[in-house]
Structure 1
Amino acid sequence: MDRLPSWIRRHLAALRALLVLTLVLGGAYPLLVTGVAQVVFSGNANGSLVQSEDGKTVGSAIVGQNFTDADGKPIRKYFQSRPSAAGDGYDMLATSASNLGPEDVVDVPPVPGAENAAGEPEEGRQSLLTRICARSKAVGELEGVSGARPYCTPDGVGAVLKAFPAVGAPARVVSVNQACPAAPFVAVYQGVKVECAEPGEDYAAGRTVPIRGDARATVPADAVTAGGSGLDPHISPAYAELQAPRVARERGLPVRTVRQLIRDNTTGRSLGFMGEPGVNVLRLNLALDRG
């Protein structure tokens, strides 16, 4: 070995190190960690899977899911999860947030007859504000409560005006999220008649004026906003309480029974002080099915 050139000796040493580290770090260590996890944390290590009474795996305690029918409509006898921006909803291969912020308040209405690059009808784009308003309206209708909330119109879009010119007294005002022939949510702004929005017209040059209104939100925030991962399995106790009368009515149960199940499936703050209490929707719905 001593007679080998130094560069060969260095390469052989590197190869031996590679083989040893591969066996230790690529084989022995992962097997050891996996074994310890299976012995000590077997449920968590295997995905926190949840089984029904008949032993069938129905989901995971740490990944949310939709409780909707084939048409995407809520199944009324079940508690509903919060919205999800992961793919078509709770898609673990597309976990993400919408990445839309509080300044995203102006819609892009679809232009009738227009097509996208794939030759399909142009759908336009809803702002984050309009998504929240539409969700709040839908939840209110489902639960039989008011879906109104600040900065939302009665028809469930963002209450936003565009004033022209951008500086000074307005000479023209458009309800930018209400496409014609919709009636604007306010008739007059600063003495100027408010117009509906013409699809395809560019309103970027105008001053954006969100209108708060005097509505108070009955629908909790987590019922209308998606979580950061898109996989959140919990809802707030407030959202669960809002749904309790509907679930009780659909199942023919006393409301107090449903509320007790909510309490039984509510987890507290992590370590007693981090985060907020949450209700695991899958476990709650399984508890309802068990009767």
Structure 2
Amino acid sequence: MERLPSRLRRHLAALRAVAVLTVLLGLVYPLAATGVAQALFGERADGSVVERDGRAVGSSLIGQSFTDADGDPIRKYFQSRPSAAGDGYDPTSTGASNLGPEDVIDVLPAGSDEGRLSLLTQVCARSKAAGELEGVSGARPYCTPDGVGAVLKVFPDRAVSVNQACPAAPFIASYQGLKVECARPGEDYAAGRTVPVRGDVTTVPVPADAVTAGGSGLDPHISVAYAELQAPRVAKERGLALDRVKALIDEHTTGRALGFMGEPAVNVLELNLALDGR
């Protein structure tokens, strides 16, 4: 029998390899991995879907917002931490804002430019809003009373509160003998020396996870401290005893991973569903 040409034999060998690998890696391996996952992890392998009255209402692994159509917090629910994933908790846009601690100066809106809030101002605004919602002080170091970053640009003859657009009153009247001015949108203050001003805040009732977004943007948990801060509001809105609400927080608090990693945390969706179940 005459042998096939070497070039044809190489092509046939390549086709056989593609067929075998397609079956192994495209069929056998996925089926095996799925079978092992279903046998060992069950519900978690299916996405840890949470159901209520026969319909899916979320996942215990992915956070969600508890806000109304205008984006305002629904007062009878515990609120999740902020999210930078898309418009909030969007699994298709998971990720962080990539803003760091040096990001303290806003780009003020000017003309067609919508501007941009610095990480510091985002934290300040969230802290102010959380404080107002929970009836506590939302003050933080390096934040102005109106909820923006307390940052000056200092020049030889003046200082400018760069995150407070005119006609806002600057958070301090003077700095080292220089009069402090409000910022004029569109003006370039890059040449000035950047000076964040800490202020005299000594206690911060609003915890860090209430004002900062997680790395994934999908965190389903909040800290125990943030849950306890919200408990009085939720208890009042629902007409429940505060002790009962705190007991539900305890029931939905997970411990440290492996007993020593991380901090205890509260699953917001499961806690809110438990409250609705009452």
> Closer, same or farther in 2 for the Cα pair 1:6/1:79, shift >3 Å?
same
> What whole-Å deviation, never above 9, does each CA across 1:225-249 have from its counterpart, x for those lacking one?
0000100000000000000000000
Name the residue aligned to 2:210.
223
Name the residue aligned to 2:168.
182
Name the residue aligned to 1:41.
41
Distance 1:88 1:275 in 2: 27
Partner AA of 2:134 in structure 1: E
Q: Once the 2 structures are TM-superposed, how far is the Cα of residue 39 of structure 1 from its aligned partner? A: 2.9
In structure 1, stretches of 5+ residues that fail to align are 116-121, 165-169
Name the residue aligned to 2:116.
125
Q: Once the 2 structures are TM-superposed, how far is the Cα of residue 214 of structure 1 from its aligned partner? A: 1.3
Distance 1:110 1:40 in 2: 54
Name the residue aligned to 2:187.
201
Q: SS of 1:176's equivalent?
A: strand
Q: TM-score, normalised by structure 1?
A: 0.93
Q: Once the 2 structures are TM-superposed, how far is the Cα of residue 35 of structure 1 from its aligned partner? A: 2.0
* 1:137 corresponds to 2:128: yes
Aligned residues: 277
Name the residue aligned to 2:11.
11
Q: Once the 2 structures are TM-superposed, how far is the Cα of residue 173 of structure 1 from its aligned partner? A: 0.4
Q: Once the 2 structures are TM-superposed, how far is the Cα of residue 2 of structure 1 from its aligned partner? A: 6.1
Name the residue aligned to 2:199.
213
* 1:56 corresponds to 2:55: yes
> Closer, same or farther in 2 for the Cα pair 1:280/1:2, shift >3 Å?
farther
Partner AA of 2:225 in structure 1: A
Q: Once the 2 structures are TM-superposed, how far is the Cα of residue 29 of structure 1 from its aligned partner? A: 1.3
Q: SS of 1:76's equivalent?
A: coil
> What whole-Å deviation, never above 9, does each CA across 1:213-271 have from its counterpart, x for those lacking one?
11132100000000001000000000000000000000011111000100100001111
Distance 1:282 1:70 in 2: 18
Distance 1:75 1:175 in 2: 34
Q: SS of 2:76's equivalent?
A: coil
Moved more, 279-288 or 268-277: 268-277
Distance 2:154 2:73 in 1: 39
Name the residue aligned to 2:177.
191
> Closer, same or farther in 2 for the Cα pair 1:16/1:2, shift >3 Å?
farther
Moved more, 153-162 or 21-30: 21-30
1:257 to 222, 230, 244: 244
Distance 1:30 1:57 in 2: 26
1:153 to 144, 152, 155: 144
Distance 2:189 2:76 in 1: 44
Q: SS of 1:209's equivalent?
A: strand
* 1:285 corresponds to 2:272: yes
Name the residue aligned to 2:255.
268
Partner AA of 1:43 in structure 2: E
Distance 1:208 1:23 in 2: 61
Q: Once the 2 structures are TM-superposed, how far is the Cα of residue 279 of structure 1 from its aligned partner? A: 0.3
Distance 1:23 1:198 in 2: 65
Distance 1:13 1:223 in 2: 60
Q: Once the 2 structures are TM-superposed, how far is the Cα of residue 40 of structure 1 from its aligned partner? A: 2.6
Q: Once the 2 structures are TM-superposed, how far is the Cα of residue 5 of structure 1 from its aligned partner? A: 2.0
Distance 2:59 2:194 in 1: 43
Distance 1:103 1:25 in 2: 46
Q: SS of 1:228's equivalent?
A: coil
Distance 1:39 1:55 in 2: 23
Distance 2:55 2:24 in 1: 38
Q: TM-score, normalised by structure 2?
A: 0.97
Q: Once the 2 structures are TM-superposed, how far is the Cα of residue 172 of structure 1 from its aligned partner? A: 1.2
Q: CA RMSD in A?
A: 1.1
Q: Once the 2 structures are TM-superposed, how far is the Cα of residue 283 of structure 1 from its aligned partner? A: 0.2
Q: SS of 1:41's equivalent?
A: helix
Name the residue aligned to 1:119.
none
1:172 to 158, 162, 173: 158
Q: Once the 2 structures are TM-superposed, how far is the Cα of residue 44 of structure 1 from its aligned partner? A: 0.9
Q: SS of 2:26's equivalent?
A: helix
